[in-house]
Chains A and B, each alone.
Chain A
Amino acid sequence: MSTSAVEKSVYEQIGGEPAMAAAVEVFYRRVLEDGRISHFFEDVDMERQAARQKAFLTMVTGGPANYSGRDMRAGHAHLVRQGLNDTHFDAVAGHLKATLEELGVPAALVARVLSIAESARADVLNR
């Protein structure tokens, strides 16, 4: 593998923004159908909810996102007060993995995405 291929983000390797647009629909359907976590994703404004999830997918694939750890904390604080915990985080991570697999992303790249997602766990859960 050449050095440039290693440095390329997963986001770039799987096709950038159009790939995110496809992934967000798959991911959003999966979390809405999962009774363990669907209430965290219910939103009268589905466009806004989809935009947030797209930003999340862009971030964990190493794409152009400007989320800081502080943003992640602030953005999830109200959910933590509603009981958001490790179980929910694991469920979301599971759907992230399944979504990427469904879209045919190679296992090595899926693993890289999941490790980025894992690194956000403490901030998401406000620990």
Chain B
Amino acid sequence: MARVRHESRWYPLEPEESVLDGLLRQGVVVPHACRAGACQSCLMRAVSGDVPEAARAGLKDTLRAQGYFLACACRPAPGSELEVAGAEGLRLRARVVSLEPLSPSVLCVRLATDTPLDYRAGQYVSLVRGDGLARSYSLASLPREGVLELHVRLVPGGVMSGWLSREARVGDVLHVQGPAGNCFYVTGRPEQPLLLAGTGTGLAPLYGIARDALEAGHTGPVWLFHGARTPEGLYLGDALRALAGRHPAFHYRPCVLTGGSRDVAEGALAVLLRAECPRVAGYRAWLCGDSGLVLSLRKKLFLAGLSLKDLHADVFLPSAPRAEAAGAR
């Protein structure tokens, strides 16, 4: 049996139990969301003892060096002892600046942090409420804008999105932890065509990445495809058309499965994408949103000749264990 020490108490772990599950089971509040080693909401710091390498997969070197690990992916060896602390040191205090609906199902949440968050447009953060409730959201803002912008999908029965849409008020204080993720624009090869595609609030990081690239002076074409089931699932259309008006190289292509119109294509996103960008070899691409779409698009683009090193995917995972009710990002 492994044991975990937290705030001067010992907690035994069941065989194969993760540090996160063991602590939650015994009443310790640990922020968490995806439970799949991706969102980084459950970061903790090892004070003493050995952390399995699997619990540090994907963490930045700076976090590793400070002993941070993912509690959901940490299953200490039988008989071992691990002393852990929370990740409070990584969190920034953030005040709600505005709460505005972008569509019937998406809420724009703007936050001002006490000190600037060091991030790249397109990365994601964990939003942590006072009671420890955490969800992961992508950033739609640019660092120079100061205020952080999140696009929160209103999930039926969702705890965080429900609270944000009904109870949160301007001035409320939360914390943000992060950033994390590798979906962002890197300068260089300014003539390279860029392809950004996503569904739902997968638009948030893409909106940040597209504007970041354009502001960095990218000269090649920038294609942004936003897919939804129906027109009600699309949002930010006016802002994106205005962006296209200012940047001739920027192309905004919304599409829906049913209910298309003069401005909105009807059909599968992959089909529209192939029609607009038939030769993707040499492109750089970012795919964000629903996992089924992101994974199938990534495979299609790779097979069509896009190099893996130019292919960035950010799969939005639902929060767990309430996967049936609550969603992240």
Q: List residues 8-62 of chain A with CB under 8 A from any CB of chain B.
A: 25, 28-29, 32-33, 44, 46-47, 50
Give chain B nearest CB distance to A70 CB in angstroms. 21
- Interface contact B303-A25, CB-CB below 8 Å: no
Q: How far is the CA of A78 from the CA of B299 in the complex (A)?
A: 24
* Size class of the contact patch on chain B: under 10
Q: With the chains together, A29 CA to B281 CA distance in Å?
A: 13
Complex contacts, A25 vs chain B, CB 8 Å: 307-308
A73 to chain B: closest CB distance in Å? Answer: 23
- Dominant secondary structure of chain A at its interface with chain B: helix
B243 to chain A, nearest CB (A): 30
Contact with A along B291-315 (1 / 0, CB 8 A): 0000100110011000110010000
Distance from B317 Cβ to chain A, minimum over Cβ atoms (Å): 11
Cα–Cα distance between A57 and B243 once the two chains are bound (Å): 45
Contact B298 A46 (CB under 8 A): yes
> Which of under 10, 10 to 19, 20 to 34, or 35 or more describes the interface residues of A?
under 10
Assess whether A44 is in contact with B295, with CB atoms less than 8 Å apart: yes
Q: Which residue of A lies closest to B307 (CB)?
A: A25
B308 x A47 contact (CB < 8 A): yes
Nearest neighbor of A50 in chain B, beta-carbon distance: B308
In the complex, which residue of chain A has the Cβ closest to the Cβ of B299?
A32
Q: In the bound complex, what is the Cα–Cα distance between A29 and B306 (angstroms)?
A: 10
**CA–CA, A32 and B299, complex, Å:** 9
For A29, the chain B residues whose CB sits under 8 A away are 302-303
Tell me the minimal C-beta distance from B87 to chain A in angstroms.
25
Which residues 39-96 of A have a CB within 8 angstroms of B?
44, 46-47, 50
| Minimum CB distance partner of A22 in chain B | B307
Bound CA span A47–B308, Å = 7
Query: In the complex, what residues of B have CB within 8 A of residue A28's CB?
Result: 302, 308
CB nearest to B308 among chain A residues: A50
Q: A25-B308, A47-B308 are in contact. Are A32 and B303 (CB under 8 A)?
A: yes
Chain A contacts for B311, CB-based, 8 A: 46
Assembly CA distance A25 to B282 (angstroms): 13
With a CB–CB cut-off of 8 A, which chain A residues contact B302?
A: 28-29, 32, 46
CB closest chain-B residue, reference A47: B308
Chain B nearest Cβ from A34, distance in angstroms: 12
Seen from chain B, the residues whose Cβ lies within 8 Å of a Cβ on chain A are 295, 298-299, 302-303, 307-308, 311
6 closest cross-chain pairs (CB), A and B: A50-B308, A29-B303, A25-B307, A46-B308, A32-B303, A44-B295
User: Could you name 14 residue pairs across A and B whose Cβ atoms are closer than 8 Å?
Assistant: A25-B307, A25-B308, A29-B302, A29-B303, A32-B299, A32-B303, A33-B303, A46-B298, A46-B299, A46-B302, A46-B308, A46-B311, A47-B308, A50-B308
A contacts, CB < 8 Å to B: 25, 28-29, 32-33, 44, 46-47, 50
